């Protein structure tokens, strides 16, 4: 069952002295909490309020219902006497014994009210008791004929002007300045809250103040003095707030700082203006603009400098700018050295720090494009992305340390943490994936996948696609590796392996151990898995030729079977093809005619002699005719 806790009970009687008559209502406040003690915020609840006579379980003399909405703190504020009721509070005779207040709440609006608490009404709302009380004796009269008197209510009054430190006073009350304190207000603890000195005024705000009356506030009254005052300007230790009506009227609506015309005639030009529709800062100097800084004599030592031509936000951001236009720098010393570069966008600590004449660059991240001097049309996004770029153009580096070492390379696309990290002068590479192309220094390569081409250094026109594709492969030209760990290569050793060229590997782990072989075609997962330096091989099928390490071999099979068990085996250099299985020929088998037997025959070979039109079979010793 839900448990509701009222953490704060507050009763506020409307002061009858501020109204023409005593109101038949008084305020009640409470914080509504759920079963875990958390305030229930911004939710409508139902309350049943009863006034009991004689005790906590006494006679109910008044009952009403209200449906208030809790605020952002879980607080509800109601006026008891304003709810839905069939009773009349005026019928309560407050002089008849003790009265108690019972509060019940329904969180779901289903009429299931749960008791919050019952407590005795002490001084509240006994201001209403005046309706039933007897008039007391008249108090003693004040001293007649004096200009300063104290009445029976403790008020001190004078109709004359008052002077403090001056005679005669120049107004209703005049305080003349001296070296000592002129005027002071202290709180109940004897601490100064407000003080007026000859040279200024000070307001002291305690750090731990609480409640709606804490801090310093300037407020206004609602029309005809109805309701509570409304804050206009409020200062507290944690904030400064200004409240402006949504519908300001006339030329004086909103908040404005401006200048006066000579001899204070008319309203001067506005420099700073706020109203519900807009905020304006008027700066006529296209270079100086609007500036926040710590050195009023220097435009360079700034925190914020805005002009129609450049936006610089951050300590010393854009401090060296001379002729550069349409730049936006945000961050500590962002674009610090920029003098003539234009249309740059630098965001982050030291981003574009050394840029001087480079234009149309986008650098975002800690020290992104830090050393760029004249490079143009680059996009570097990520911590230290493109940090060492000086003159490279039209590069896209995306990710922490992407393109970190690039100096003059152009038209590269490097995406991923550490992508192309050691590349300095390479051009037209596309590396996508964490660590892809990490060591690559050559051009015209495309690596896609985590660590693809990681150790690749020199060579061009290569395409590696897949996680760890070509991971340890040192270099070469015209290679295509497609598949996870395809062409991965063995562990990196110094010196680098000889380059491998024009290999095509398709399938996960195909050519897994390749180091320097060339002109190989491996199709199938784990095809040519063990091959390191072999060249001119064609392996087709899952695990085809996975144990082969030689050259010019043909394997077509779906296991790691050797040359005697693979479905098809061949040797390109020896012009040998071997079918390891039953062979069916539907139409015809043609033997090329010859006039003499082949050299180095093997038992079981057959040839057709065109001279005597005879088939011959080699039985291991002699050629025997078989069609005579």
Most confident of 28-32, 306-310, 413-417: 413-417
Q: Do residues 418 and 431 make contact, with C-beta atoms less than 8 angstroms apart?
A: no
* pLDDT band, residue 428 (cuts 50/70/90): very high
Cis peptide before 495 (omega within 30 of 0): yes
* pLDDT band, residue 301 (cuts 50/70/90): low
Most confident of 107-111, 276-280, 295-299, 509-513: 509-513
- For residue 130, is pLDDT > 70? no
pLDDT tens digits, 74-106: 889 999 999 999 998 888 888 788 889 999 988
Backbone phi and psi for residue 115, each to the nearest 5 degrees, phi listed first: -70, 130
**Euclidean distance between CA atoms 628 and 626, whole angstroms:** 6
Of the candidate ranges 30-39, 61-70, 131-140, the one whose mean pLDDT is the lowest = 131-140
Percent share of the chain, pLDDT over 90: 55
Mean pLDDT taken over the chain = 83
Mean pLDDT computed over 446-474: 97
Mean pLDDT computed over 535-539: 98
Sheet of strand 26-33, all strands in order from the earlier edge strand to the far edge: 5-13, 26-33, 75-80
Per-residue buried b or exposed e for 100-127, using 16+ beta carbons within 10 Å of the residue's own CB:
bbbbbbbbeeeeeeeebebeebeeebeb
Q: Which residue has the higher pLDDT, 14 or 162?
A: 162
- What is the reported pLDDT for 292? 57
- What is the reported pLDDT for 50? 94
- What is the reported pLDDT for 1? 39
Mean pLDDT computed over 456-473: 97
- What is the reported pLDDT for 381? 98
List the domains of the chain with CATH numbers.
5-130 (2.60.40.10), 584-628 (2.10.10)
* pLDDT band, residue 4 (cuts 50/70/90): very low
Sign (positive or negative) of CA dihedral 196, 200, 204, 205? positive
- For residue 268, is pLDDT > 70? no
- For residue 126, is pLDDT > 70? no
Residue carrying the six token digits 């660059």: 361
- For residue 206, is pLDDT > 80? no
Nearest of 328, 338, 340 to residue 300 by alpha carbon: 338
pTM for this model (two decimals): 0.59
Enter the tokens of residue 421. 């990290």
Q: Which residue has the higher pLDDT, 22 or 410?
A: 410
- For residue 168, is pLDDT > 90? no
Mean pLDDT computed over 55-59: 90
Nearest of 126, 125, 130, 129 to residue 12 by alpha carbon: 125
Of the candidate ranges 192-206, 229-243, 421-435, 574-588, the one whose mean pLDDT is the lowest = 229-243
């Amino acid at each position: 069952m839900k448990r509701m806790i009222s953490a704060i009970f507050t009763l506020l009687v409307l002061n009858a002295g501020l109204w023409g008559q005593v109101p038949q209502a008084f305020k009640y406040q409470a914080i509504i909490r759920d079963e875990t003690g958390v305030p229930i915020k911004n939710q409508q609840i139902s309350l049943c309020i009863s006034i009991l006579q004689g005790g906590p379980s006494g006679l109910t003399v008044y009952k009403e219902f209200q449906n208030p909405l809790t605020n952002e703190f879980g607080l509800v504020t109601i006026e008891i006497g304003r709810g839905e009721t069939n009773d009349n509070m005026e019928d309560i005779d407050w002089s008849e014994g003790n009265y108690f207040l019972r509060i019940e709440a329904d969180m779901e609006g289903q009429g299931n009210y749960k008791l919050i608490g019952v407590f005795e009404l002490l001084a509240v709302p006994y201001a209403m008791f005046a309706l039933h009380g007897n008039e007391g004796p008249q108090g003693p009269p004040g001293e007649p004929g004096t200009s300063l008197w104290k009445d029976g209510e403790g008020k001190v009054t004078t109709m004359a002007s008052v002077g403090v430190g001056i005679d005669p006073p120049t107004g209703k009350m005049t305080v003349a300045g001296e070296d000592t304190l002129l005027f002071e207000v202290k709180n109940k603890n004897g601490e100064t809250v407000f003080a007026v000195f000859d040279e200024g005024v000070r307001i002291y705000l305690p750090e731990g103040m609480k409640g709606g009356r804490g801090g310093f506030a300037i407020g206004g009254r609602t029309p005809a003095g109805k309701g509570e005052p409304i804050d206009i300007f409020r200062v507290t230790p944690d904030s400064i707030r200004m409240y402006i009506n949504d519908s300001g009227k006339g030329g004086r609506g909103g908040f404005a700082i401006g200048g006066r015309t000579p001899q204070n005639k008319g309203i001067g030009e506005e420099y700073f203006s706020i109203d519900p529709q807009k905020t304006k800062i008027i700066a006529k100097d296209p270079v100086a603009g609007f500036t926040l800084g710590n050195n009023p004599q220097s435009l360079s030592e700034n925190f914020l400098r805005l002009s129609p031509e450049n936006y610089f936000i951050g300590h010393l951001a854009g401090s060296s700018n001379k002729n550069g236009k349409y730049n936006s720098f945000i961050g500590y010393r962002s674009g610090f050295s920029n003098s003539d570069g234009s249309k740059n966008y630098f965001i982050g600590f030291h981003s574009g720090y050394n840029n001087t004449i480079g234009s149309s660059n986008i650098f975002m991240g800690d020290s992104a494009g830090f050393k760029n001097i004249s490079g143009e049309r680059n996009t570097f996004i990520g911590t230290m992305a493109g940090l060492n770029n000086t003159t490279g153009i039209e590069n896209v580096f995306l990710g922490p340390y992407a393109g970190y070492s690039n100096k003059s390379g152009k038209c590269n696309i490097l995406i991923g943490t550490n992508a192309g990290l050691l590349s300095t002068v390479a051009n037209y590479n596309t590396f996508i994936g964490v660590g892809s192309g990490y060591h690559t220094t050559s051009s015209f390569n495309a690596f896609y996948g985590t660590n693809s081409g990681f150790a690749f250094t020199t060579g061009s026109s290569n395409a590696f696609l897949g996680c760890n594709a070509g991971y340890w492969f040192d270099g070469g030209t015209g290679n295509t590796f497609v598949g996870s760990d395809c062409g991965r290569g063995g562990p990196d050793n110094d010196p680098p392996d000889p380059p491998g060229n024009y290999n095509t590997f398709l399938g996960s782990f195909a050519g897994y151990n390749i180091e320097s072989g060339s002109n190989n075609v491996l199709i199938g997962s784990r095809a040519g898995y063990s091959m390191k330096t072999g060249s001119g091989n064609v392996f087709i099928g899952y695990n085809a030729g996975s144990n082969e390490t030689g050259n010019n071999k043909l394997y077509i099979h779906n296991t790691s079977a050797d040359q005697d068990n693979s479905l098809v085996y061949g040797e390109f250099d020896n012009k040998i093809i071997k079918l390891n299985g039953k062979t069916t020929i539907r139409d015809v088998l043609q033997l090329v005619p010859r006039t003499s037997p082949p050299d180095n025959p093997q038992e079981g070979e057959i040839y057709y002699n065109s001279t005597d039109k005879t088939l011959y079979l080699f039985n291991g010793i002699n050629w025997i005719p078989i069609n005579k």
